Structure 1
Amino acid sequence: MSVMSTAENSRDLIQSIERGFAVLLAFDADRPNPTLAELAAATGLSRPAVRRILLTLQHLGYVQGESGRWSLTPRVLSIGQHYSASHAMIEIAQPHLLRLAEQTGESASLAALDGTEVVYIARVPVRRIMSINVSIGTRVPAHATSMGRVLLAWAPRSRIDEVIEAGLPRRTELTITDPTELRSALRTVREQGYAIVSEELEEGLVSASAPVRDRSGSVVAALASSSSIGRSSVDELRRQVVPLLVRTAEAISADYGHRRGIKARSTVTGEHEGFF
C-alpha cells in the first residue's frame, strides 16, 4: 500500500493535482485526441472540472485544443526528461546496455518497480520482439515478467502482498497466477540471483533479468535481455546470456556505488522472507 494511500494521510493530498494527472494520463493510444466528454467519462470527473483542468494545462503548455478535441504537446516529454536527469543510474547504465545489446544481439532494458507494475526506464532496442511497442515509460505487469520477478524477489513483503492482492491476471497459458507458485518462483530467483521467464507475458517471448543494486546493496532496478523462442531457448539463454547479464548488472551496480563483498541489505523481513 502506498504511503499516501492511507486515510490518515489523505488530508495531505492536493486533490486538484491528483485530478490534473488523471486527465493527463487519460490520453493514450485509444484516446490520442479525446473530446472533453470523453475525458470526463475516462476520469470520472465532471465536465466543468475537466474543462478547468484542460484550460490550466493549456495555459502551462502541456495540452492543446482544436475543433473540440484535445491533444498532448511535446512539453509533456520534459517530465520524463526530468526523471532521467535526476536519476544518475540511467546515465550510468546506458553504455552498459549498449554493450550488452552488442554482445547478445538482443534488446537490453533497465526497469524499476512502480506499484504492481514494472516501468521501463532505459532501453536499447535491437529488434521488435513484442506485439506492444516497448519504449521508455512502458508499463508491464510485475508477476509475468523476468524484470518484475527480480524486483519482487528482493522487495518488502508488503509489496509482494500488494501485487498478489491486486490480482495475477493470466496473459498466456503459461502465466503464473497462483500466489503460492509466484512466491516459490521468487524464492528461486533470490537463490540463483537471476530470473528467466518464458512466454508468460506474450507467446514466443523469453527474457532474463538480473538485479542492479545501489550503494547500500538494495535492489533498485532490473536489467533484462529479451529474445524470442525462435531465436533462443531457455537453456541457451541460461548458458549464453545470463552470465553476460549478471556481469553487466554487477558492473552497473559498481558504477552506481555498490561494492561487492559488502553484505547486501535485504528489504524483506519476516521468518519466511515474504514468500510463504
Structure 2
Amino acid sequence: MNEPKHGSPVVEKTAHLLEAVADAKTGISLGALVDQLRVPRSTVYRILNSLTAHGLVARVNGGASYELGPKFVELARRISPGADRVTLIEAARPILAAAAERIMESFKLAVPEGQEMMTVFAASSPGDYALFIKVGGRSRKHVGAAGKLALAYSDYGEVGAYCAGGLEAKTPYTITDPEALKEALAEIRRDGYAEDNQESNLGLRAFAAPVFDDRGSLIATVSVPFIGEATPDRARSIKREVLEAAGMLTRTINGRHQLSK
C-alpha cells in the first residue's frame, strides 16, 4: 500500500478501505478487508466502526459484510447532478425486478433528456421469450408511452415548443398533429398513465406510469413494452403492475405524487 510522503497513514488506510468496499459489489467482510489491505485486524475494525457511525459504510442487511453507506449518496449529490439518477436506478432495481418476475414481462425505467426519453435501466422478464430492452436507447417524446407521459406532465409552453420542432412519424400510428397530441396529453394527465399502441414500432404496445420527486415533478417513467395483442385481463394486469411499480418507486425515493388536473 503506497502512501504519500507527507500524508496521514490513517487517512491512507481509510481511503484504501473505502475503495475496497466500493469494489465489492455484494459487500465485503472484515476478514476479507484485513487480507486484502494487509492491515492489522484491530485497525480495520476501528476504521469500520468510525465509518459506520458516520454513515459512510453500512452492514449489508445487518450482517457481517460491509457496503458503502447512505452518506456517500448525500455527499455525491452536492457535487454531481448524476448522483440522483444513480440513486433512482438503485431504488428501482429490486422493485422492477420483482414486478418482472410476477408478470413475466420486461420493465423499463426511462428519464427525460431534452426532447427525448432515455432508457437508464431495464429489468428483463425471466420468461423464455423476454423482450430485450436496450439501456441507453433514446426516442423522441411524442413517440411511445413514456415520452407522451413526460410531455403530459410538462407545462403548456414546453409542449408548444416541442410541437413547433415537428412531430416525425415512426409508424402510421404515431401522433403527428400537434392538436391531436395535446388532446392525447390531456387525457393522459387525467388518467395518470399512458399507452403506446404501435406508435413507436409496429406490433409493439406499452403502458407507462410516472415517477415523481419530492417536489411533485416527473423525473422518470416506468413502462412495460409487449408485443402483440393482450387479452383484457392481461392488459389490466400489466397496467396495474406498471402503476404500482411507479408508485412504489416514487414512495421509495420520498417523492410526492402529482395530482391530476
TM-score normalised over the length of structure 2: 0.63
Q: 2:249 corresponds to which residue?
A: 252
User: How far apart are 1:158 and its partner, in Å?
Assistant: 2.9
Three-state SS of the structure 2 residue aligned to 1:87 is helix
Looking at structure 2, the residues matched to 197 and 118 of structure 1 have their Cα atoms a distance apart, in angstroms, of 14
Contact 1:210 1:222 in 2 (8 A): yes
How far residue 87 of structure 1 moved from its aligned partner, in angstroms, is 3.0
- Aligned mates of 2:234, 2:116 — CA distance in 1: 24
Aligned residue pairs total 179
Deviations 1:71-120 (A, max 9, x none): xxxxxxxxxxx946863111101111101211221110111111111100
Which secondary structure state, in structure 2, belongs to the residue aligned with residue 184 of structure 1?
helix
Counterpart for residue 117 of structure 2: 118
Give the equivalent residue in structure 2 for 1:194.
Answer: 193
Q: C-alpha offsets along residues 108-160 of structure 1, whole Å, 9 cap, x if unaligned?
A: 0111111111100111133564xxx7422110121011000111111122321
Deviations 1:203-231 (A, max 9, x none): 1000000000111211111100110115x
For residues 44-81 of structure 1, what are the alpha-carbon distances to aligned partners after superposition, in whole Å with 9 as ceiling and x for unaligned? xxxxxxxxxxxxxxxxxxxxxxxxxxxxxxxxxxxxxx
Q: Find the aligned partners of 1:103 and 1:84 in 2 and give their Cα distance.
A: 29
AA in 2 matched with 1:244: E
Kindly name which structure, 1 or 2, has the bigger radius of gyration based on alpha carbons.
Answer: 2
Match of 1:93, as an amino acid? Answer: A
Structure-1 residue corresponding to 2:237: 240
Per the alignment, residue 174 of structure 2 pairs with: 175
AA at the equivalent of 1:148: G
Paired AA for residue 248 in structure 1 = A
* Counterpart code for 1:190: R
Match of 1:87 in 2: 86
Q: Which has the higher contact order (CA 8 A, sep 6+)?
A: 1
Aligned residue for 1:24? none
For residue 238 of structure 1, report the CA deviation from its aligned partner: 4.0
Question: In structure 2, do the counterparts of structure 1 residues 113 and 85 end up closer, same or farther at CA, with 3 Å as the change threshold?
Answer: closer
Paired position in structure 2 for 1:219: 218
CA contact (8 A) 2:106 2:124 kept: yes
Describe the shift of the 1:86–1:247 C-alpha distance in structure 2 as closer, same or farther (beyond 3 A): closer
Answer whether contact 2:105 2:130 (CA < 8 A) is retained: no
Residue type at the aligned position of 1:107 = S
Mapped contact 1:216–1:265 kept (Cα < 8 A): no
Distance 1:143 1:94, change over 3 A: same
Q: Distance in 2 between matches of 1:246 and 1:86?
A: 20
How far off its partner does 1:166 sit? 1.7
Instruction: Give the aligned partner of residue 145 of structure 1.
Output: 144
- What's the counterpart of residue 34 of structure 2? none
> In structure 2, what is the Cα distance between the partners aligned to 1:203 and 1:116?
22
Deviates more, 1:120-129 or 1:139-148: 120-129
Matched with 1:210 is 209
8 A contact 1:174–1:199 mirrored in 2: yes
The offset of 1:191, in angstroms, is: 0.3
Taking the aligned partners of 1:179 and 1:237, their CA distance within structure 2 comes to: 32
Q: CA RMSD in A?
A: 2.4
For 1:187 and 1:237, the matched residues in 2 are separated by 26
Q: Distance in 2 between matches of 1:237 and 1:163?
A: 34
Please give the TM-score of this superposition, normalised by the length of structure 1. 0.59
1:161 Cα offset (Å):
2.0
The Cα shift of 1:258 comes to: 2.1
How many Å separate the matches in 2 of 1:112 and 1:237?
26
**Is 2:110–2:120's contact at 8 Å kept on the other side of the alignment?**
yes
Q: 2: distance between equivalents of 1:83 and 1:136?
A: 16
